[in-house]
Structure formats: C-alpha cells, structure tokens
Amino acid sequence: MKSSQFSTEQSIKILEQAERGDQPISAICRAHGIAETTFYRWRKQFGGMSVNEAQRLRELEKEHARLKRLLAERDLEVDGLKELLAKKG
C-alpha cells in the first residue's frame, strides 16, 4: 500500500480545521489537495483524536507488532524443541 504524503499529525490538523466549520469540507479538501473520500476515511480513523493521542496510538501499534513478532519467534523455538525431544525419545 502506498504511504501517505500526509503524516498522521497533518491529517488531524486538517480534521480540526474542518471541525471549526469556517469552510466547507470540499473547500478544505481542495486547499490541501485531497479527495473528500480521503477526508472521510481520516475522520473515521482519527476523528476526535488529538495529536498526542495519535502519537501514542502509533507507539502502541509498534509495540503490539513487536510483541506479536516475539511470540511467533517463541512459538517456532518451542516447536523446534518439541521436534528435537520427539526424535531423542
């Protein structure tokens, strides 16, 4: 999947600008060069989030991925040891 040209923080700033209601959403999207579907996808994903919360979410997702990788590696080690013990026994 193509990485976004906007960071999460930038996306949240655009959403906050729309929440203020100074301009219609179509004008905000045009000004930032995004499609309205992108705006609504961001709103679904980051709606009501602050920049700090988004950063914390990213950290938690990275930690979650790391823990899943460690668990997978541990499972492989356990399977290898079980096979080794089965051959010896």
* DSSP codes of every residue in 8-21: HHHHHHHHHHHHHT
Cα angle 56, 61, 66 (rounded to 5 degrees) comes to 125
What is the pTM (predicted TM-score) of this model?
A: 0.65
Residues 8 and 38 occupy one common structural domain: yes
Domain with 54, as residue range(s), is 50-89
Residues 42 and 69 occupy one common structural domain: no
Residues 54 and 84 occupy one common structural domain: yes
The pLDDT, as a whole number, for residue 60 is 96
38-49 per-position pLDDT tens digit: 999 999 998 888
* Structure confidence at residue 2 as a pLDDT band (50, 70, 90): low
Ramachandran assignment for 44, one of left (phi > 0), alpha (psi -120 to 50 degrees), beta (any other): alpha
Residues 45 and 61 occupy one common structural domain: no
